[in-house]
Structure 1
Amino acid sequence: MVRLALLLGLAALAPAAAQASGPAPYEARYEVLRNGSVLGEAQVTLRQTGSDTWELSSHTRGTQGLAAVAGADITERSTFRWSGRGPETTGYRYTQKVAFNSRERSLEVDPAAGRIVSRDRRDEHVLPYTQGVLDRQIVPVALARDLAAGRQEVEYPVADRREVETQRFRATGSERVEVPAGSVDATRVERVRDPGAGRSTTIWLDPARDYLPVRSVQRERDGETIEMRLVGVER
């Protein structure tokens, strides 16, 4: 159960239409696997809430094995604005419930005050505001936009619990992948990490559907793997 928190980060790999005016609304469903076995399912929804504001929400729940027995349930909600530079987070909230335990995290972005307030249970950290800052859930929204614009290597400032870190990604070519939604000729993207990090993140995105992520694989230092595969999407 210690890796259940990873489900939500991967559930964030949701579709985004790379348009100058912002992404198109959608609902997408993914199956979630742990070490090759189905563990649960994730539903991701994007909706426009204003002329330049959007909300991205995800709900991941355990349906098999210990995840089902423990009633694993994770929700994540991001609000963001869209400008000519792409998305920027305005707020983020994460809630995880497993058995009798629960956990909450949040981010509040305040450009006027030049700060980002990060809360995790009783801990609170004030981080410096960075223009174009993202939370982990909307990183793929920015990634889809940049791939559609022809960029092969990108980097983003991403706010986490205690810092704003730079995350780098690189497109490494085209590859056919098989997912429940069908066979897809996808663009393979890898997160660039420091040598010896011992972790890897790989995402396959469909250029024919606005770089919708169709598969993702996260490998941890201990060899554990969390994978997501697209089941279906509705625009």
Structure 2
Amino acid sequence: MTIRTAFAPLLGLGLLLSMQAAIATTPPAFTAIYNVSQGGEPMGVATITLRAAGNGEWIYSKDVKSTGGLAAMLGASMKETSRFRWKGDVPEAIGYDYQLQTGIKNKQRHLSVDWTTHQVTVDEGKGAQAYPASPGMVERNTTALALGLALRDGSQQVTLPVAVRQQVQTQSFKVTGKETIKVPAGSFNADRIDRTDAERGFSAWYVPARYPLPVKLSQHDGGDLTMELVSYQANSG
């Protein structure tokens, strides 16, 4: 028996394990529930889901239902739905839909990416506009997921190309320390990450060894909103 023959089973096992590790770099389907507050007052509940859509595509959605304050009186709801494909550990954008409904007004945004022409098209109901796409580009909804996976992989500083309304915007984030965070899901020693390229506040606290999403997120761009994790469940299939 040659050395090559003797070690063939081990080499095969090593290849299998490396393939499994590669597959495991992206998270499985999941459902996460958050309490949402605005200006310190309870506002609603957010349900975030990730699921496979077939043909190598995934759907990541955030559905916010108002349960308190003026938003509840108006019957307000907000839904963001992203369609993407994995590019390594990055959820590279294919499409994004935003819908805000209240008793007095509705807002919407539709974003689509044509990767054959590397073109982004955005339509908010007043006529579409287009701009060039960037490889590895995410959008506002999947930014938190992309940050969580980068932290899990050991990154301390993260730069993301983010498709916004009129262009691909380069956004920079940095881990600024560890903090003890108490949320409905429990108490965690979390990594705090802040956006560093804009004055508008964005802070998120992650436990990357456990969750791909933050246990707490505080965002002042577009309103003083805070999200705190209530539960997280990995879904089979």
Q: TM-score range by the shorter chain?
A: 0.7 to 0.9
Structure 1 pair 231–188 and aligned structure 2 pair: CA distance change class (3 A): same
Work out the CA distance in 1 between the residues paired with 2:214 and 2:138.
18
Q: Contact 1:46/1:55 (CA < 8 Å) preserved in 2?
A: yes
Q: Give the one of 53, 59, 73 matched to 2:63.
A: 59
Gapped runs of 5+ residues in structure 2?
1-21
User: What displacement does 1:85 show?
Assistant: 5.4
The 3-state SS of whatever aligns with 2:79 is strand
Work out the CA distance in 1 between the residues paired with 2:52 and 2:25.
11
Q: Give the one of 109, 112, 117 matched to 1:113.
A: 117
1:146 alignment counterpart: 150
Gapped runs of 5+ residues in structure 1?
1-17
1:202 paired with 2:203, answer yes
User: What displacement does 1:124 show?
Assistant: 1.6
1:4 alignment counterpart: none
- Give the letter for the 1:227 counterpart: T
Structure 1 pair 132–61 and aligned structure 2 pair: CA distance change class (3 A): same
Deviations 1:55-107 (A, max 9, x none): 00111011111010001111111010012252201011111101132111011
User: What displacement does 1:146 show?
Assistant: 1.2
If the length of structure 2 is used for normalisation, what is the TM-score?
A: 0.84
1:81 alignment counterpart: 85
Work out the CA distance in 1 between the residues paired with 2:137 and 2:34.
26
1:225 alignment counterpart: 224
2:31 alignment counterpart: 27
1:216 alignment counterpart: 217
The number of residue pairs the alignment matches comes to 213
After TM superposition, which residue ranges in structure 1, 4 or more long, deviate above 6 angstroms? none
Structure 1 pair 232–210 and aligned structure 2 pair: CA distance change class (3 A): closer
Structure 1 pair 110–20 and aligned structure 2 pair: CA distance change class (3 A): farther
Deviations 1:36-73 (A, max 9, x none): 11011110110012263210011101111101000111
2:44 alignment counterpart: 40
- Percent of aligned pairs sharing the same letter: 36
Work out the CA distance in 2 between the residues paired with 1:173 and 1:52.
36
1:137 paired with 2:141, answer yes
User: What displacement does 1:123 show?
Assistant: 3.1
- Give the letter for the 1:73 counterpart: S
Larger Rg: 2
User: What displacement does 1:21 show?
Assistant: 4.7
Q: How does 1:109-188 map to 2 (within 5 A)?
A: 109-188=113-192
The alignment's C-alpha RMSD in Å is 1.8
Higher relative contact order (CA 8 A, sep 6+): 1
